[in-house]
C-alpha cells in the first residue's frame, strides 16, 4: 500500500484518480482550493478511512511542503491547475501562478519532504500545431498558448529538480480527457462536457470553426488508471509520456453521436475558430505502454454512451 498526496483531488481527473487509488488499496490525502473542484466529486472517497482532505492553496509559499513534511507520502500526484487554453489567454497572470508557480511549490515540497516520486498533469498543448501526426514525445515543443507554455515550463522545472535532488518525475501529457464529473459550467469547459449538457437541455451547441478539427479524446477512467500506474508502479524512472489513445475523432463525429441520441435538439451553430486552438491533435501512445504498461481501453463511442446514459 502506498500513500499518495493528490493535488486538485476534488477536480475532474483528481477525483477519479483518487477513487481508483483507493479501490486499489492505497491511502490518499487530497488537497484542493475548490476554485474549480467540487466537494461532491469526492462523495465516494469520503466514505473511505484511507482518505483525508485538506483545503489548501498551492500558491501559498511553503504550504504544500509543510503538509508533505508531516505526511511523508510515497508520491505526489499534481493535478491542480487552470485547465483551459482560452482562460490562459484571457488571464496569463492566473495561468502563471496556477500552472507554474504552483508546480514550483510541488517541486519544492518533493525536495524538502524527500518525496521519492512526482507525477505531473502535463498536456498535449505543449506541442502546438504540427503537420505530422501522431505526435511522439520527441516532437518539437512549440506551444501556442500561455497554457501550453506553462505546462511545458512545469515539466522542465520538475525534471530539473528531480535530476538535482534525486527524485523521480513522470510527466503525463494528457490529450482531451472527457467523462463523468467534467464540469460544463463555463465556456472554458471541455467541449464534450458542454455538448452533453446542451443536448440534455435541448439547446443548440456552438461549434468554433468548421468542426472538422480532430482531438485524441481519452476517457477519464483510462487517465485515472494511467495516474495509478505512474504513481505506484515500482521501478519507474523519470520521463515523459503521452496519455492518449492514438486515434483522432472530429468534433462533427462527436456531435453526430449526440444528435442521433437527441434527434429533436436544434442543429449546431457555427462561430469563428477560437484563438490559440490547434486544428489537429493526435498522440502516439507507445511510450506510455512501454514505460508505464498503460494502454487506453475505453473507446470514444463507449465513453459517449456512458455520458449520454445509454
For position 277 contacting ligand UD1 by CB under 6 A, the verdict is: yes
Burial zone of 202 (CB within 10 Å; 0-12 exposed, 13-18 middle, 19+ buried):
exposed
Options 102, 135, 281, 303; binder of ligand UD1; rule CB under 6 A: 281
For position 176 contacting ligand UD1 by CB under 6 A, the verdict is: yes
Give the span between the Cα atoms of 21 and 45, in whole angstroms. Answer: 10
For position 253 contacting ligand UD1 by CB under 6 A, the verdict is: no
For position 258 contacting ligand UD1 by CB under 6 A, the verdict is: no
Options 15, 88, 168, 189; binder of ligand UD1; rule CB under 6 A: 189
For position 304 contacting ligand UD1 by CB under 6 A, the verdict is: no
Give the span between the Cα atoms of 252 and 146, in whole angstroms. Answer: 27
Specify the residue, 45 or 79, whose C-beta has the smaller distance to ligand UD1.
79
Give the span between the Cα atoms of 100 and 136, in whole angstroms. Answer: 24
b/e 8-21 (16+ beta carbons within 10 angstroms → b): bbbbbbbbbbbbbb
The residues, ordered by sequence, that sit 6+ positions from 225 with a Cβ below 8 Å of its Cβ are: 20, 294, 297
Options 3, 71, 180, 208; binder of ligand UD1; rule CB under 6 A: 208
- SS3 (DSSP) at 182: coil
Select which of 147, 174, 175, 199 is catalytic.
147
Specify the residue, 22 or 205, whose C-beta has the smaller distance to ligand UD1.
205
The residues, ordered by sequence, that sit 6+ positions from 28 with a Cβ below 8 Å of its Cβ are: 3, 4, 5, 6, 9, 18, 21, 22, 45, 50, 51, 52
For position 274 contacting ligand UD1 by CB under 6 A, the verdict is: yes
In three-state form (DSSP H/G/I as H, E/B as E, the rest C), the secondary structure along 94-131 is: HHHHHHHHHHHHHHHHHHHHCCCEEEEEEEHHHCCCCC
Options 6, 10, 76, 194; binder of ligand UD1; rule CB under 6 A: 194
Q: Which of 78, 151, 124 has the alpha carbon at shortest distance from 242? A: 124
Cβ atoms 62, 69 nearer than 8 A: no
- SS3 (DSSP) at 168: strand
For position 152 contacting ligand UD1 by CB under 6 A, the verdict is: no
For position 223 contacting ligand UD1 by CB under 6 A, the verdict is: no
Minimum gap (Å) between residue 51 Cβ and ligand UD1: 25
Options 31, 83, 102, 107; binder of ligand UD1; rule CB under 6 A: 83
Specify the residue, 71 or 133, whose C-beta has the smaller distance to ligand UD1.
133
Which region, judged by CB under 6 A, interacts with ligand UD1, from 16-24, 64-72, 119-127, 220-228?
A: 119-127
For position 100 contacting ligand UD1 by CB under 6 A, the verdict is: no
For position 108 contacting ligand UD1 by CB under 6 A, the verdict is: no
Cβ atoms 285, 246 nearer than 8 A: yes
Which region, judged by CB under 6 A, interacts with ligand UD1, from 108-116, 130-138, 207-215, 235-243?
A: 207-215
Residues in contact with ligand UD1 by CB under 6 A are 83-85, 123-125, 175-176, 189-191, 194, 205-208, 213, 215, 251, 274, 277, 281
Residues labelled as active-site residues: 147
Amino acid at each position: 500500500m502506498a500513500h499518495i498526496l493528490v493535488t486538485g483531488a476534488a477536480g475532474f481527473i483528481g477525483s477519479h484518480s483518487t477513487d481508483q487509488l483507493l479501490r486499489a488499496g492505497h491511502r490518499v490525502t487530497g488537497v484542493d482550493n475548490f476554485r474549480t473542484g467540487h466537494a461532491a466529486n469526492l462523495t465516494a472517497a469520503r466514505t473511505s478511512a484511507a482518505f483525508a482532505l485538506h483545503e489548501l492553496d498551492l500558491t501559498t509559499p511553503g504550504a504544500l511542503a509543510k503538509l508533505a513534511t508531516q505526511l511523508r507520502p510515497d508520491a505526489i500526484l499534481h493535478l491542480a491547475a487552470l485547465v483551459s487554453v482560452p482562460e490562459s489567454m484571457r488571464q496569463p497572470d492566473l495561468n502563471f501562478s496556477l500552472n507554474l508557480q504552483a508546480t514550483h511549490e510541488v517541486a519544492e515540497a518533493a525536495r524538502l519532504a524527500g518525496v521519492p516520486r512526482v507525477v505531473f498533469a502535463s498536456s498535449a498543448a505543449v506541442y502546438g500545431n504540427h503537420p505530422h501526426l501522431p505526435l511522439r514525445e520527441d516532437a518539437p515543443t512549440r506551444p501556442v498558448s500561455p497554457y501550453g507554455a506553462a505546462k511545458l515550463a512545469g515539466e522542465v522545472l520538475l525534471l530539473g529538480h528531480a535530476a538535482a535532488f534525486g527524485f523521480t518525475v513522470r510527466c503525463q501529457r494528457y490529450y482531451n480527457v472527457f467523462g463523468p464529473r467534467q464540469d460544463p459550467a463555463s465556456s472554458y469547459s471541455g467541449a464534450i462536457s458542454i455538448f452533453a449538457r446542451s443536448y440534455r437541455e435541448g439547446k443548440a451547441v456552438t461549434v468554433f470553426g468548421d468542426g472538422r478539427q480532430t482531438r485524441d479524446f481519452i476517457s477519464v477512467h483510462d487517465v485515472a488508471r494511467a495516474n495509478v500506474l505512474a504513481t505506484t508502479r515500482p521501478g519507474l524512472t523519470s520521463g515523459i509520456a503521452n496519455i492518449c489513445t492514438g486515434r483522432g475523432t472530429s468534433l462533427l463525429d462527436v456531435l453526430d453521436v449526440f444528435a442521433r441520441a437527441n434527434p429533436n435538439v436544434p442543429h449546431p451553430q457555427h462561430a469563428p475558430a477560437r484563438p490559440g486552438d490547434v486544428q489537429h491533435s493526435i498522440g502516439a501512445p507507445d511510450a506510455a505502454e512501454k514505460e508505464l504498461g498503460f494502454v487506453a481501453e475505453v473507446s470514444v463511442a463507449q465513453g459517449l454512451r456512458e455520458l449520454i446514459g445509454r
